[in-house]
């Protein structure tokens, strides 16, 4: 069965180009022009991925993103004509999987769609180690899951990649450039602020588990490191 891709875009020319590119590459695209239609479509049948324009005629794409994610946990790529960095950072802070600015290459966008879906595909489950609750940050590479003090974190693919990288060498300071190179598909088109935005959301999710701990240390002007001195259990 072909993966269904929902395009939320109010410009028919762009939507037609995207549908053609996706259909040619083996996807099953659908197109809606408003945020209300997008939410209704996802509610009726969740697609494999959503390509969402930020500037819609009825509401902000950011608001549509929140409503879509409340209905279904589907990957989302923001599409926008805006070049302002703050818009890009806002989208990433919300938890979007990628962000593409117009004008763009349809073939590149399709490649990003395929990459996101490939990463989102879950391998067969494997039994978790019995002692996983006693490891502050336990990474399950096979399942692409991370537990923090035994609690499963709900992470976007970039948040997973960041924490996976930091946890591979606790205490080691990874520069922003190094994190971009390891985690993002195209580091040359990503920004330092992209890393900062994802670290911010990652910290917030970890704080929900252990509010009194600071698991990710900031080294100003350099980058980030996972704390080496995390207690074996919360309250230790």
Convert the pLDDT of each residue in 153-203 to its tens digit.
999 888 999 999 999 999 999 998 899 888 887 655 556 688 898 999 999
pLDDT in tens, 174-183: 998 899 888 8
- Looking at residue 125, its pLDDT comes to 45
- Looking at residue 91, its pLDDT comes to 65
Task: Say which residue, 53 or 123, is predicted with more confidence.
Answer: 53
How many CA within 13 A on the CB side of residue 172?
11
Q: Do the strands 223-226 and 137-140 form a parallel or antiparallel pair, or are they unpaired?
A: unpaired
Query: What does pLDDT average to over the chain?
Result: 85
Ordered structural domains, the chain, with CATH:
4-121 (3.40.50.2300), 137-226 (1.10.10.10)
Q: What value, to the nearest 5°, has the Cα angle with vertex 78 and ends 154 and 203?
A: 30
- pLDDT band, residue 68 (cuts 50/70/90): very high
In sequence order, the β-bridge partners of residue 100 are 79
Give yes or no for residue 131 having a pLDDT over 60: no
Q: Do the beta carbons of residue 68 and residue 32 sit within 8 Å?
A: no
Please state, for a pLDDT cut of 90, what percent of the chain lies above it: 55
Residue 77, CA distances (Å) to 97, 114, 127 in order: 6, 12, 32
Please state, for a pLDDT cut of 70, what percent of the chain lies above it: 85
Task: Say which residue, 7 or 130, is predicted with more confidence.
Answer: 7
227: its two tokens: 């704390």
Please enumerate in sequence order all residues whose Cβ is within 8 A of that of 91, keeping only pairs 6 or more positions apart, or say none: 54, 61, 62, 65, 78, 80, 99
- Looking at residue 55, its pLDDT comes to 87
Give yes or no for residue 120 having a pLDDT over 80: no
The C-alpha atoms of residue 182 and residue 110 are separated, in whole angstroms, by 21
The C-alpha atoms of residue 11 and residue 41 are separated, in whole angstroms, by 18
Count CB atoms within 10 A of the CB of residue 141: 11
Q: Do the beta carbons of residue 61 and residue 90 sit within 8 Å?
A: no
In sequence order, the β-bridge partners of residue 32 are 8
- Looking at residue 103, its pLDDT comes to 84
The C-alpha atoms of residue 82 and residue 101 are separated, in whole angstroms, by 7
pLDDT in tens, 223-233: 999 999 888 88
Window from 5-14, 83-92, 142-151 with minimum mean pLDDT: 83-92
Task: Say which residue, 157 or 128, is predicted with more confidence.
Answer: 157
- pLDDT band, residue 133 (cuts 50/70/90): very low
- Looking at residue 168, its pLDDT comes to 92
- pLDDT band, residue 130 (cuts 50/70/90): very low
Give yes or no for residue 124 having a pLDDT over 80: no
pTM: 0.59
Average pLDDT over residues 102-118: 89
């Amino acid at each position: 069965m072909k993966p269904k891709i929902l395009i939320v875009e109010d410009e028919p020319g762009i939507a037609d180009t995207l549908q053609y590119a996706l259909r040619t590459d083996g996807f099953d695209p659908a197109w809606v022009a408003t945020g209300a239609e997008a939410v209704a479509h996802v509610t009726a049948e969740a697609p494999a991925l959503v390509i969402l324009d930020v500037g819609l005629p009825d509401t902000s794409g950011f608001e549509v993103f929140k409503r879509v994610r409340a209905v279904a946990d589907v990957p989302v790529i923001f599409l926008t004509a805006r070049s302002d960095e703050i818009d890009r950072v806002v989208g990433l802070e919300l938890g979007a999987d990628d962000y593409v600015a117009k004008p763009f290459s349809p073939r590149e966008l399709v490649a990003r769609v395929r990459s996101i879906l490939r990463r989102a595909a879950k391998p067969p489950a494997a039994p978790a180690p019995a002692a996983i609750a006693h490891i502050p940050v336990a990474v399950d590479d096979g399942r692409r899951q991370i537990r923090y003090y035994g609690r499963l974190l709900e992470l976007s693919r970039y948040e997973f990649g960041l924490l996976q990288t930091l946890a591979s060498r606790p205490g080691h300071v990874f520069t922003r450039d190094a994190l971009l190179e390891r985690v993002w598909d195209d580091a040359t088109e990503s920004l330092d602020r992209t890393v900062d935005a994802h670290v911010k959301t990652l910290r917030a999710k970890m704080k929900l588990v252990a509010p009194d701990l600071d698991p990710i240390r900031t080294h100003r002007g350099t980058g980030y490191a996972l704390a080496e001195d995390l207690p074996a259990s919360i309250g230790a």
